[in-house]
Amino acid sequence: MSHPIIAVDNWLSNQAMARKLRVLIALGVALLVVLSSVLLAGAARWWQGRSASRALTALQVDLDAEVRLAASGLARRLESVRRDAELVHSLAGDAPAQDLKRVLDRLDSADDIIIVAQDDHGTPLAARGVVVRSGLQALQLGWLGAQGQWVRLGERPMLAVRAPIFQDSPGQRVKVGYVALMLPQLPGQIERLAARQGFAARWLGGDADPAPMADDLRMALWRSDAPVLGEQAFDEGDTQRGVLQKFGSGDEVLSGAILNLPTGSGPVPMRLLLQQNAGWLQDGHAFVIAALLALVTACLLVAVPVSGLARRYFVQPFERLGDALRGDHSVQPTSSPTAGSPHSEFDRLRDMANVLSRENRELRHDSALWSSVFRHAREAICVTDPQGRIEIANSTFLSLCGLGEAETLGQIPGFLVGGTEDATQAEEIWIALRKQGEWNGEVRHVRIGEEFPVCAVSIFAIRDEQGAVQHLAAFFSDNTGHREQEARIQYLAHHDTLTGLPNRARFMERLRTAVQTAERGGRMVALLFIDLDRFKVINDTLGHAVGDELLRTVADRLVRTCESGEVVARSGGDEFVIMLDRLREPADAQRAAEHILAIMAPTARVSGHELAITPSIGIAVYPEHGIDAEELVRNADVAMYYAKSQGRNNCQLFSPRMAELAEESLSLEHALRTAADRDEFILYYQPQIEMATRKLVGVEALIRWNSQQFGMVSPAKFIRIAEECGLILQMGDWVLREACRQRAEWNLAGVADFPIAVNVSALQFRQPEFIRRVEEALQIYGISTTQLELELTESIVMHESGATAAALRRLRDMGVALSIDDFGTGYSSLGYLKHLPIQKLKVDGAFVRGIESDKADRAIVEAIVSLGRALDLTLVAEGVEQRSTITVLSKLGCHVAQGYYYCRPLPAEEFVSWFSQFNGEGKRQFQSATVTPEAH
């Protein structure tokens, strides 16, 4: 590809060449037109002359015939007239004149013939008064013969004949005169005949015009208004016969001939000038018309190929060039142009234009693109001259400086000027720009003397082709935000957003560091793993906002217990971890945990709720319970679970046995998941006896798990696991239905109409469809609502939530009795008791069992009993094992007792046996009855 400028030069030289070519073509066309015109005009004249010659030949033949015919007819008539005249003359005698006149008058009746009589001397008889036509007086007919001759009567030529008239007398014959006949119509006939052939006829010569031929002819032509002919045109031969053909002085043409008319041998020949005008070829029109015709023809002949060539070599290249300049990509390069031809030049030019056009488009596109990028960039950008004076700046830069464009342009950014607190920075920047052509770093002074938030700046030099710096471009980003964001990210990466405590990751870092330090120093590090008891219930019951607030309260309390150097973190959910690194012995950690239990004991007022929350704390101490951070956490977690299993709200120092138990717990959970499918659950029933009457007033259904793997498992073990892994919902549903089924079976069997009490876990009660499930169970087995009782934990009923109260009322309205299980172990918030539709309080067995030995237990029981009685509730004492306990409870005013003293929990069948005995009904055997849902 040649350089564009060379291409443009070529293009210009092509234009000059094109002009020359055009002039040459124009001259060629003109020459062609002239030559064609001349040739055409000559051809036209030749053709006309040839036509005229042929016409003249034919005309001459015709005229000869005409004249000869007329002459012979005249001769015959003459003879006739002569004989008549002789006869008349012979009869008339001496007075022929009058007779002859009469004869002639009679003979002269024919219009086409003139008869003239003359005396013997040739004197027309007119002289003697017999002339019959005026104008004949001067006519000398002496030389006429019978063969005819041309005469002129005035201007008019006529063919005339004369014959003598004799008078025969005996013995002699006397010439008495002459008779002449003239035919006046013949010239007119000749003229008409010539006119039919396209000739104009003029009469020359004759007796009245005996001039020489040349002059005669010249005069004739002149008189006929014919154009002046050149002398050389005259050739005697030509004038005698044939065609006179001559170019005039100008461009006119005349065709003509002079004919010697036949007949006659007199001294004066009669000549006829025949002229044929040039018609459309005369008066120079021939040349003009020929020229026009030639021009048109030439134009047609030349214009078509020339226009084709011109289009090919001039128009099309320009069109393609135009298309290319307009950016029409459909214009394809011409294949194989001939080198050096205008075609190839134009193709090159067009290709060049294509390239220029494309480059121009790309440039405009790029320019628009970068301009848009520059304007919309979030980064502040400015471009300066080599001295650092701002030439252009985008709006972000202007906002950064807090200045308008007019104030900014021409200024030098502060960090390039120096004079700031870091005076050497500007110098450093200039040196870097000179050496490396760029500088990256942070600056504070974007405006001179004004300190801005720290900006990250990237400056680089823009050089020309020679390497001279033309501009400096600087890109700024406000690093303050970036730093804040980084700090924020760091914070979020290491902290819990809810409580602001370090998160698990951060805690683990600290723990690892502390373990390493302790390892080096031979010291101990303790890890307290804290889990809030039944937090999930609070969260689910009162909502996450209350749960969050409670977590913040717990976090505050934990932080307050810690001394400097100790780390409190939220490990996730309701789990907190504390690291203690100033221990003398593991018991210090135990004491710290107990302290935590103590400060967590008071209820917390959260969003209007009085909440009691207890922690279960597991403790692991480095190096005794783990040699690294991960092991410590694992073991503290195990200890925490163990604490939970020990009734919550306590702390446990890790021991290897706990790990075994935890493992066992995991195995139990695993087995529990399939227990329902394997029909491993059974319901046991424990009676509730009204102490005053010794009457059975109800039974409590207690679940048993007869595991294939573990044998009979206590609910104290698996209920917690089931609650933790959610299996309690499925399990609770089964218990509810099984109890109803059993009651229905007993109904059928006629067993006394006591209600069955079913334990309901908090999770189960929170199900939206819990009441529907209760209704379904009652309905399916067709038992009365009064035959079902629900034992709820304090945690369920303690919250004065609208939903809880509504659910309880709905159950109560249905007729289902409600009791609070394990009363006294959970929460001290008693306000709910007076609002909720509770019928029974079940005093926890732990208090009951110590009622005789432990004053506190007795006091608690007394308090619960008096509270229950005051609220008109039925009081049920659990865990009654001794007869003496019955006595105490009765004295205290407790109504019902449940415990081993009466009966351990028994399978249904055994329970019925026991019951029949208990009722004193002897050994009556109950007929077993099987109840299926379908039966109802």
Ligand X SMILES: Nc1nc2c(ncn2[C@@H]2O[C@@H]3COP(=O)(O)O[C@H]4[C@@H](O)[C@H](n5cnc6c(=O)[nH]c(N)nc65)O[C@@H]4COP(=O)(O)O[C@H]3[C@H]2O)c(=O)[nH]1
Residues 6+ apart with CB under 8 A from 193: 59, 62, 63, 66
As a whole number of angstroms, the distance between CA 410 and CA 404 comes to: 12
Q: Give the pair of three-digit tokens for residue 925.
A: 């055997």
Q: How many helices, marked H, and strands, marked E, lie in the chain? A: 30, 30
E strand or H helix at 247: strand 244-247
Smallest gap from Cβ 710 to ligand X, in A, equals 15
Smallest distance, Å, CB 720 to ligand X? Answer: 9
Nearer to ligand X, 571 or 649 (CB): 649
Q: Are 503 and 511 in contact (CB under 8 A)?
A: no
Smallest separation, CB 761 to ligand X (Å): 4
Nearer CB in complex with ligand X: 526/880? 880
- Least CB distance to ligand X at residue 716 (A): 5
Residue 791 beta carbon to ligand X: minimum distance, rounded to whole angstroms: 6
Distances in whole angstroms, Cα of residue 633 to Cα of each of 199, 591, 622, 638 = 145, 19, 10, 9
Distances from the Cα of 790 to the Cα of 701, 758, 823, 834, 912, angstroms: 10, 5, 14, 18, 21
CB atoms within 10 A of CB 423: 10
How far apart, in whole angstroms, are the C-alpha atoms of residue 504 and residue 498? 13
CB 809 within 8 A of CB 837: yes
In terms of CB distance, is 455 or 703 closer to ligand X? 703
* CA–CA gap between residue 206 and residue 198 (Å, rounded): 24
Contacts to ligand X by CB under 6 A: 686, 702-703, 714-716, 719, 732, 735, 759, 761, 821-822, 845, 878-881, 899-900, 905
159 vs 735 by CB, closer to ligand X: 735
Distance CA 664, CA 868 (A): 40
CB of 680 to ligand X, least distance (A): 14
Nearer to ligand X, 323 or 881 (CB): 881
Residue with smaller CB distance to ligand X, 299 or 682: 682
Which is nearer to ligand X, 276 or 885 (by Cβ)?
A: 885
Minimum CB–partner distance for residue 849 and ligand X (Å): 7
Min. distance of Cβ 600 from ligand X in angstroms? Answer: 24
Tell me how far, at minimum, the Cβ of 690 lies from ligand X, in Å.
Answer: 16
- DSSP reduced 3-state for 697: strand
Residue 546 or 880: the one with the smaller Cβ distance to ligand X is 880
Minimum distance from CB of 675 to ligand X (Å)? 13
Helix (H) or strand (E) holding 600: helix 586-600
What residues pair up with 820 in beta bridges, in sequence order?
792, 841
Residue 578 tokens read as: 């504390």
- The distance of closest approach from Cβ of residue 858 to ligand X in the complex, given in angstroms and rounded to an integer, is 17
Of 211, 226, 205, 204, residue with least CA distance to 277: 226
- Min separation Cβ 747 and ligand X, Å: 21
| Between 495 and 704, CB nearer to ligand X | 704
Residue 261 or residue 735: which is nearer to ligand X going by CB? 735
First CA to last CA across the chain, in angstroms? Answer: 101
Q: Three-state secondary structure along 57-113?
A: HHHHHHHHHHHHHHHHHHHHHHHHHHHHHHHHHHHHCCCHHHHHHHHHHHHCCCCCC
Tokens standing for residue 26: 């124009």
3-state secondary structure of 140: coil
User: Please, which residue, 266 or 899, has the CB nearer to ligand X?
Assistant: 899
Of 46 and 900, CB closest to ligand X: 900
**CA-closest candidate to residue 687, choices 676, 698, 671, 675:** 698
